[in-house]
Amino acid sequence: MTTAPDTQTLANISGTVVLAGAGKMGGALLTGWLARGLNPKRVAVIEPHPSDDVRALAARGIRLNPTAKEAGTVAALVVAVKPQTFGKAGPALRPLIGPSTLVVSIMAGTTIAMLDAVCGGTIVRAMPNTPAAIGRGITVAVAAKGVNEQQRATADALLRATGAVEWIDDEALMDAVTAVSGSGPAYVFLLAEELARAGVAAGLPANLATKLARETVAGSGELLYRSDLDAATLRQNVTSPGGTTAAALSVLMGEHGLKELMTRAVAAATKRSKELAK
């Protein structure tokens, strides 16, 4: 069950919240924080090439690329650069980290031990996903030893500003988490792409096929979100015995079907997440 975002905790964070890397995921987090009441004057962004949207936020009080001194006491540093960039970008973040700074990393495959070695701080490792951009993400988080209750509440509020949050104790699960929910939106968008393509192959005009696929994926997702029924029951509700859906599902659920493909896909992503940690 999703808990309501703790807007009070977000508004009460004392000190600066620094976002390092305001790209697709970092930008989505930033949007969520501001929408949930984080004072822009408390936010600083470290970003070599800020987008026009991020630049525009400077007019609302966000500090762009401040020095460590200008950033002041950093309550939380959220690291959203690419894992491959972190080795170079990480050490430059060190001066921002004080004795009580919480470091929240959303980088795939980057372990708490690696974060500790490169930039230090009190660490929460998290894996969000892009529906965060509309407040409908899901994030899984794991806290390093030494994260106190207040820091955990701060991390929770920052992450919950973009959707649901699940806390786990076992960091080793983060590779599979990344493969399922971090990368998962891409699998769903691929489904929309392929459904449209198959519609065209079945004779539909491209714009109609694209609209039908998009609305079908979006509407089904919304139904799954709002319904108390599980995915299997919702699927069965579409499937009339001997009907069209059953014909399609005999392909999708048949030998070498989606079960096998998805198992292989998630295994490949899990493996890649583990490789990023090396």
Ligand X SMILES: NC(=O)C1=CN([C@@H]2O[C@H](COP(=O)(O)OP(=O)(O)OC[C@H]3O[C@@H](n4cnc5c(N)ncnc54)[C@H](OP(=O)(O)O)[C@@H]3O)[C@@H](O)[C@H]2O)C=CC1
Q: For binding to ligand X (CB under 6 A), which residues are involved?
A: 20-26, 46-49, 80-83, 85, 89, 106-108, 127-130, 182
Q: Which amino acid is at 55?
A: R
In the list ligand X, ligand A1CAB, none, the entry touching 90 (Cβ below 5 to 8 angstroms by class) is none
The closest residue (CB) to ligand A1CAB is: 182
Comparison of 183 and 270: residue with beta carbon closer to ligand A1CAB: 183
- Would you say 79 or 143 has its CB closer to ligand X? 79
83 is in an annotated binding site: yes
H/E run at residue 46? strand 43-46
Neighbouring C-alpha atoms within 13 Å toward the C-beta of 238: 15
CB of 6 to ligand A1CAB, least distance (A): 25
Question: Using CA of residue 163, residue 167, residue 171, residue 177, what is the dihedral sign?
Answer: negative
Q: What's the token pair of residue 218?
A: 């979006």
- Least Å distance, CB 31 to ligand X, is 12
- Check the annotation: does 81 bind a ligand: yes
* DSSP secondary structure, 182-208, as one string: ISHHHHHHHHHHHHHHHHHHTT--HHH
Give me the least distance between CB of 57 and ligand X, in Å please.
14
Q: Which two tokens stand for residue 148?
A: 């106190």
Contact 125, 166 (CB under 8 A): no
Which partner from the list ligand A1CAB, ligand X, none does 163 bind, CB cut-off 5 to 8 Å by kind?
none
Rounded to an integer, what distance in angstroms lies between the CA atom of residue 187 and that of residue 184? 5
Q: Which is nearer to ligand X, 189 or 231 (CB)?
A: 189
Which strands form 137-143's sheet, in the order they lie side by side? 63-64, 43-46, 16-20, 74-79, 102-105, 122-127, 137-143, 163-168
Report the alpha-carbon distance of residue 154 to residue 166 in Å, rounded. 14
Minimum CB distance to ligand X, residue 60 (Å): 19
Question: Binding partner of residue 139 among ligand A1CAB, ligand X, none, CB under 5 to 8 Å per kind?
Answer: none
Q: Which is nearer to ligand X, 23 or 40 (CB)?
A: 23
Q: How far is the CB of 14 from ligand X (least distance, A)?
A: 24
Nearer to ligand A1CAB, 183 or 210 (CB): 183
Give contact residues for ligand A1CAB (rule: CB under 6 A).
Answer: 108, 178, 182-183
Residues making up the annotated binding site for NADP(+) are: 80-83
